[in-house]
A and B are shown apart, each in its own frame.
Chain A
């Protein structure tokens, strides 16, 4: 790859972005859709499809499953250009984060060919049905059942806290198939179509106001046997792969690792520069917040933690290039990013003082109320994908080898 070619690619991406970004993007006239809304979902789908067709997303998957194979230098250039302008996010889906990685590892050939391409292109959206009212941290305690009936399984039960429930075309499902088998060997893993009769869903409103998660009900829902992933009774292990992928991508995702995995949106609102700008532009008690040593220190601490995350992501990527796999360190990445998101959210609101209370909808809200939204949403970050406590247990027991 010559640097001339790379420069040509850089120009190509730049021109492409100029031609394809939503009208007014990057100017004050552009008003993004509400984060969790159908409008935002549709924009994300459309945007991902465009990027995919242009060859700017869908990396890290083999060609036969719809992956876009490009040299690493090219991918870096593409991501750098995307980061420069910022881009819309992807669809409201757990497809890239959870479904595709799990299917790639555990799926049958037809499943990989059928499902992964449409995840990469953004055409089909996914949700993950693991948690239940009595099976959260203790996921092995799943009570939803699936009973074999000819070529089908009949599913009955309930899932809760299902993110992106509303827009999912497909769902991942863990259900009990061997009621008498020991823990961890009694579950199986299914891919189900959300238009199947017997399936219903409804919103659950979060403390941040929107219903990003919801609940799902299965009332004699039929799932064809071929949609079982991996072997019968191995659902727990598949779920663990899915969770590990989710944790590690989620863990690097905050600083653009997720964008690196597949083109999810990047927003400078999360960058250090914007935090410094916010402090410089906010006056409290007659002076700029940026003048205040205590704030300068905390803002720089945040900057340091963001870089620590970025380079830990780079170290992990280097390990994977050498043929290593993401293992339990996923828990490390996940906790760090979740806890720093909370610190960051608190810091931002403390910078804004009284104005931090204004949510989206108020004409006086700063940055559309995004800062207070981020602060609130971050409370969920230490609960979803395994709580901070569960992840610390994993680090201590599986990495450090401390007794259970």
Chain B
């Protein structure tokens, strides 16, 4: 593990930051918060044109064959820009399962379309209990001829409006082990019987939806991976998405720190900059420290995934829980140090504050990941 960026990686970061500063300023984010779809297909296409959507796919499927650490550099920048849109979902939660578990035809058909920006996807796993685990998956798919008929409701589906496909985790078999008997279906959103309605949630930069499936027929050729064996595929994809989310959180946290430190240098109270008060300094120091240690864990997790290290799952759980806790703390201080202005809708601080909260709950919160680690130590 190298822990320093190569020249190409530094360039990728600079390019990504410039691109997002131009294409995704806060005015764009706020526009999307009010938008029914919640992200821009136009911007999506531009992201595809600069090669982001196919970054980690092999060249034979229209990608550029770069590695996972490269991808997380983009994610850091996306977190910094609070970019709206299902990037992690499309590339890691749908694209990756197709790449690792899909048939050759599926890979040839879908991956180039994802890379070119013509196929936007999201993932539907969570249901009523709101937890990311196999036990929560109750939605059923029943075989009828060559099709499977899906019935049920998924919750907390990111950007379900405006995507072309949803990868749905459905129960296809009753099993003793909850992880057994789950199958992944790639559902075409133009299919009859899918009803998407918005969930009014706190973090509008990443809109979430309720998706109801009423007698939706999905051809068995749209099963990704083996029948009944979808959970392990999903788990592996979620591991990558979780690490990428950590990168987003670190990137977002760094924006909050920089913005807050700048404000503390400029805001005058009692005739001096508030940054000269020691309580403010020490809060800023704690924000910085938390982010540095978050970065260490995040980079370790990203490098472990890149290298297929056997500690990858542990690294990701550690990173997720630490980055989640830290991002929240950093935003707490960010709002507080801004005083009254930090509490307003107009100031951008709350976009990050809410992202921190929604990111913490995604793919298991800090508490859940610490318990996962403890379970690994049970043996």
Residues of chain A touching chain B, judged by Cβ–Cβ distance below 8 Å, are 272, 276, 290, 293, 296-297, 299-301, 303-305, 307-309, 311-312, 314-315, 318-319, 322, 329, 332, 335-336, 389, 391-393, 395-397, 399-404
* CB-contacts of B351-379 with A (<8 A): 367, 370-371, 373-374, 377-378
**CB of B273 within 8 A of chain A?**
yes
Contact across chains for A403 and B265 when beta carbons are under 8 A apart = yes
- For the complex, give the distance between the alpha carbons of A59 and B265 in Å: 43
Contact across chains for A402 and B371 when beta carbons are under 8 A apart = no
With A315-B3, A395-B288, A404-B276 known as contacts, the answer to whether A296 contacts B281 (CB < 8 A) is no
**CB of B95 within 8 A of chain A?**
no
- For the complex, give the distance between the alpha carbons of A125 and B372 in Å: 46
- For the complex, give the distance between the alpha carbons of A329 and B285 in Å: 11
Set of chain A residues within 8 Å of B370, measured between Cβ atoms: 296-297, 300-301, 304
Q: Which one, B2, B272, B282, contacts A392 given CB within 8 A? A: B282
Stretch from B85-93, B103-111, B232-240, B289-297 that touches the partner: B289-297
Most buried by B among A309, A335, A400, A403: A400
Contact across chains for B261 and A318 when beta carbons are under 8 A apart = no
Min CB distance, A247 to chain B, in Å? Answer: 13
Set of chain B residues within 8 Å of A311, measured between Cβ atoms: 3, 296-297, 299-300
Set of chain A residues within 8 Å of B264, measured between Cβ atoms: 402
With A400-B284, A403-B275 known as contacts, the answer to whether A315 contacts B299 (CB < 8 A) is yes
**CB of B242 within 8 A of chain A?**
no
Contact across chains for A336 and B299 when beta carbons are under 8 A apart = no
Contact across chains for A300 and B373 when beta carbons are under 8 A apart = yes
Contact across chains for A402 and B297 when beta carbons are under 8 A apart = no
Contact across chains for B265 and A401 when beta carbons are under 8 A apart = yes
Min CB distance, A217 to chain B, in Å? Answer: 35
Min CB distance, A275 to chain B, in Å? Answer: 10
Q: Can you list the 3 inter-chain pairs with the closest CB atoms, starting with the nearest?
A: A396-B281, A318-B3, A311-B296
With A301-B370, A322-B4, A402-B265 known as contacts, the answer to whether A312 contacts B293 (CB < 8 A) is yes
Min CB distance, A127 to chain B, in Å? Answer: 30
**CB of B138 within 8 A of chain A?**
no
**CB of B321 within 8 A of chain A?**
yes
- For the complex, give the distance between the alpha carbons of A307 and B370 in Å: 13
Contact across chains for A402 and B284 when beta carbons are under 8 A apart = yes
Contact across chains for B296 and A393 when beta carbons are under 8 A apart = no
Contact across chains for A276 and B293 when beta carbons are under 8 A apart = no
Contact across chains for B297 and A307 when beta carbons are under 8 A apart = yes
Contact across chains for B4 and A332 when beta carbons are under 8 A apart = no
Q: Which one, A297, A308, A332, contacts B297 given CB within 8 A? A: A308
Contact across chains for A400 and B296 when beta carbons are under 8 A apart = no
Set of chain A residues within 8 Å of B4, measured between Cβ atoms: 318-319, 322
- For the complex, give the distance between the alpha carbons of A322 and B2 in Å: 11
Please name the residue on chain A nearest to B372 by beta carbon: A300
Set of chain B residues within 8 Å of A301, measured between Cβ atoms: 321, 370
- For the complex, give the distance between the alpha carbons of A389 and B278 in Å: 9
Secondary structure dominating the interface of B = helix
Min CB distance, A93 to chain B, in Å? Answer: 30
Set of chain A residues within 8 Å of B292, measured between Cβ atoms: 312, 329, 332
Contact across chains for A393 and B278 when beta carbons are under 8 A apart = yes
With A304-B321, A402-B265, A403-B272 known as contacts, the answer to whether A318 contacts B289 (CB < 8 A) is no
Set of chain B residues within 8 Å of A318, measured between Cβ atoms: 2-4
- For the complex, give the distance between the alpha carbons of A312 and B378 in Å: 27
- For the complex, give the distance between the alpha carbons of A312 and B299 in Å: 10
Min CB distance, B272 to chain A, in Å? Answer: 7
* CB-contacts of B252-310 with A (<8 A): 261, 264-265, 272-273, 275-276, 278, 280-282, 284-286, 288-289, 292-297, 299-300
**CB of B39 within 8 A of chain A?**
no
Contact across chains for B272 and A314 when beta carbons are under 8 A apart = no
Min CB distance, B320 to chain A, in Å? Answer: 10
Q: Which one, B261, B289, B295, B297, contacts A336 given CB within 8 A? A: B289
Contact across chains for A315 and B282 when beta carbons are under 8 A apart = no
Contact across chains for B293 and A335 when beta carbons are under 8 A apart = no
Q: Can you list 11 A-B contacts (CB < 8 A)?
A: A300-B373, A304-B318, A304-B321, A305-B322, A308-B296, A312-B292, A312-B296, A322-B4, A393-B282, A402-B265, A403-B265
**CB of B1 within 8 A of chain A?**
yes
Please name the residue on chain B nearest to A318 by beta carbon: B3
Contact across chains for A389 and B282 when beta carbons are under 8 A apart = yes
- For the complex, give the distance between the alpha carbons of A304 and B323 in Å: 11
Having A393-B282, A393-B285, A402-B265, one finds 7 other A-B pairs with CB under 8 Å, namely: A272-B377, A301-B321, A303-B318, A311-B300, A389-B282, A402-B264, A404-B276
Contact across chains for A335 and B289 when beta carbons are under 8 A apart = yes
Set of chain B residues within 8 Å of A299, measured between Cβ atoms: 374
Set of chain A residues within 8 Å of B378, measured between Cβ atoms: 290
- For the complex, give the distance between the alpha carbons of A297 and B368 in Å: 9
Please name the residue on chain A nearest to B367 by beta carbon: A297
Please name the residue on chain B nearest to A295 by beta carbon: B374
Most buried by A among B4, B276, B377: B377
- For the complex, give the distance between the alpha carbons of A351 and B151 in Å: 49
- For the complex, give the distance between the alpha carbons of A351 and B275 in Å: 40
- For the complex, give the distance between the alpha carbons of A316 and B306 in Å: 21
Min CB distance, A23 to chain B, in Å? Answer: 33
Contact across chains for A396 and B296 when beta carbons are under 8 A apart = no
Most buried by B among A272, A305, A329, A402: A402
With A307-B300, A308-B296, A399-B288 known as contacts, the answer to whether A293 contacts B1 (CB < 8 A) is no
Min CB distance, B369 to chain A, in Å? Answer: 8
Q: Which one, B276, B289, B318, B321, contacts A395 given CB within 8 A? A: B289
Min CB distance, A396 to chain B, in Å? Answer: 4
- For the complex, give the distance between the alpha carbons of A329 and B291 in Å: 13
Set of chain B residues within 8 Å of A309, measured between Cβ atoms: 293
Set of chain B residues within 8 Å of A329, measured between Cβ atoms: 292
Contact across chains for A332 and B289 when beta carbons are under 8 A apart = yes
- For the complex, give the distance between the alpha carbons of A311 and B286 in Å: 18
Min CB distance, A163 to chain B, in Å? Answer: 25
Set of chain B residues within 8 Å of A392, measured between Cβ atoms: 281-282, 285-286
Set of chain B residues within 8 Å of A303, measured between Cβ atoms: 318, 373
Set of chain B residues within 8 Å of A272, measured between Cβ atoms: 377
- For the complex, give the distance between the alpha carbons of A393 and B288 in Å: 12
Please name the residue on chain A nearest to B276 by beta carbon: A403
- For the complex, give the distance between the alpha carbons of A403 and B288 in Å: 16
Set of chain B residues within 8 Å of A315, measured between Cβ atoms: 3, 295-296, 299
Please name the residue on chain A nearest to B272 by beta carbon: A403
Set of chain B residues within 8 Å of A402, measured between Cβ atoms: 261, 264-265, 273, 275-276, 280-281, 284
Set of chain A residues within 8 Å of B296, measured between Cβ atoms: 308, 311-312, 314-315
Please name the residue on chain A nearest to B3 by beta carbon: A318
Min CB distance, B366 to chain A, in Å? Answer: 9
Set of chain A residues within 8 Å of B294, measured between Cβ atoms: 308
